[in-house]
Amino acid sequence: MAGLILSPDDCAHFLVLKRRQLNSAVHRHLNVLLLLDDGWRPARIAAALYFDESTVAEHRTLYLERVRIDVVSLGYTGRISRLSADQRAALSE
């Protein structure tokens, strides 16, 4: 790894997530960041991953302007819990 944009901790964290990530949008985002960190140019990444260069730029901006958690969640807030009120209360305890 070249370490061009990612901190060593973020790089290690993203590599672990990439191996077990089920959300394909997050997986693609991690690919972009890891390739940028390796020194790939945005045009090469866009061609390899079938993106527009602007999408590569958006992924980089998201990482640089926000915290790591935003990269991993990509704004996903989840769904309504299937637990009953009693189950949620027990879980909170």
Judged against a pLDDT cut of 80, whether residue 78 lies above it is answered with no
pTM over 0.85: no
Q: Does some domain include residue 87?
A: no
pLDDT on residue 74: 56
Neighbours of 29 (CB within 10 A): 22
Judged against a pLDDT cut of 50, whether residue 1 lies above it is answered with no
Q: Does some domain include residue 82?
A: no
**Which tens digit of pLDDT belongs to each residue from 17-76?**
888 867 787 888 889 999 999 999 999 999 999 989 999 998 888 888 775 666 665 555
Helix spans in the chain (H): 8-20, 24-37, 42-49, 53-65, 68-73, 85-92
Q: Does some domain include residue 3?
A: no
Q: Does some domain include residue 80?
A: no
Residues 84 and 41: their CA atoms lie apart, in Å, by 49
Residues 59 and 93: their CA atoms lie apart, in Å, by 38
Q: Please tell me the total count of domains within the chain.
A: 1
Range of 41's domain? 8-73
Tokens of residue 56, six digits: 């590569």
Q: Does some domain include residue 83?
A: no
Judged against a pLDDT cut of 60, whether residue 77 lies above it is answered with no
Q: Does some domain include residue 20?
A: yes
pLDDT on residue 86: 92
Judged against a pLDDT cut of 50, whether residue 84 lies above it is answered with yes
